[in-house]
Amino acid sequence: METKLLLDFSPIKGYRIGYAPVGKPYMSVICYQIDELLIDTGPANSRRALMGLLDPKTISRICLTHYHEDHAGNAAYLSKHHNIPVYGHALTAEILKKPVKLKPYEKYIWGNLETIDIHPLGDSVKTENYRFTLIHTPGHSDDHIVYWEKNQGWLFSGDMYLGSRIKYFRADESISQTIDSLKKITSLQFDKLFCGHNPKLEQPHEAIQRKIDHLENIIGNVQYLYTQGKSHKEILQELVRGRESWLVKIVSMGDVSYKNMVLSAIKDIEQKSSA
């Protein structure tokens, strides 16, 4: 079942799309159109929903926040079938020029991710009426970038925000890099946060700071137990118990979990202690 919803953030359009074999989609994705620019493309298995909202003739460029299948899943299709060039970070271009091996749950929830030639971006992107500064924000993925329109107070944040008290990390995410990138974002002036899943149009800085506090609290708890001489197993037992979703863990085969946040904190602490 595909779902679609047109969001009016005048002068910005948001295309909220999602897919589930049965019932309501577990998570929807929002693609944003500003003038002739489309930021992100949504997952491949929601393509019909996207095309039911989007007029490709009004798009001259696609800019990606990162390579993940729920954000870049329709980039190759729009490029091949509608002749729309796709842009992204140099790392995104490097990743997507080769086949990305998706895990079974990623294919099931989001669909396939095709290879594509992406044009690496410079420091900014201009549309007819606006100018976006690009900021590299690794943590969620190494190639992640956000798009900041200083004059309008807009920040298109991809997956950097998601929520103030997130419960899950992918296995390849870095908690320390995420915190550093979030702090970089809080130094910018904006009053509207256009997240790829959960936009915050009021008090976005406060929402981001709550996420920083949440992640730093996890690191602080790990640090305390680590200095007490606790083993990895003991730290995980104390901090993860009762916080895991067994359904998410089973479906993702452990690739998405609260445990991954704790493991990332342990890894960062050990690296610092051995430096």
User: What's the average model confidence in pLDDT over 147-174?
Assistant: 96
Amino acid at 206: E
Q: CA 106, CA 26: separation in Å to the nearest integer?
A: 12
User: What's the average model confidence in pLDDT over 123-143?
Assistant: 97
Number of domains in the chain: 1
Residues 83-104 have pLDDT tens digits of 999 999 999 999 999 999 999 9
pLDDT at 67: 98
Q: Enumerate the β-bridge partners of residue 136.
A: 145
pLDDT at 5: 94
User: What's the average model confidence in pLDDT over 143-159?
Assistant: 98
Q: CA 199, CA 188: separation in Å to the nearest integer?
A: 17
pLDDT at 170: 93
Is 126 within a domain? yes
Is 245 within a domain? no
Q: Which domain holds residue 10?
A: 2-203
Is 160 within a domain? yes
Is 27 within a domain? yes
Binned at pLDDT 50, 70 and 90, residue 204 comes out as: very high
Is 263 within a domain? no
pLDDT at 274: 74
Is 270 within a domain? no
Binned at pLDDT 50, 70 and 90, residue 275 comes out as: low
Angle at 159 between CA 252 and CA 243, to 5 degrees: 45
Is 210 within a domain? no
User: What's the average model confidence in pLDDT over 205-219?
Assistant: 97
Cβ-based neighbours of 136, under 8 Å, separated by 6 or more: 89, 144, 145
Are 155 and 204 in contact by the 8 Å Cβ rule? The answer is yes
| Beta strands 154-158 and 145-149, pairing class | antiparallel
Q: CA 4, CA 28: separation in Å to the nearest integer?
A: 9
For residue 43, say if its preceding peptide bond is cis, omega within 30 degrees of 0. Answer: no
Distances (CA, A) of 259 to 5, 99, 213, 271: 33, 28, 18, 18
Segment among 105-119, 166-180, 194-208, 237-251 with least mean pLDDT: 237-251
Tell me the chain's radius of gyration from C-alpha atoms. 19
The burial class, CB within 10 Å (0-12 / 13-18 / 19+), for 180 is middle
Is 13 within a domain? yes
- pLDDT of 128 strictly over 70: yes
pLDDT at 246: 76
User: What's the average model confidence in pLDDT over 207-236?
Assistant: 95
The kind and range of the H/E element at 158 are strand 154-158
Domain containing residue 181: CATH number? 3.60.15.10
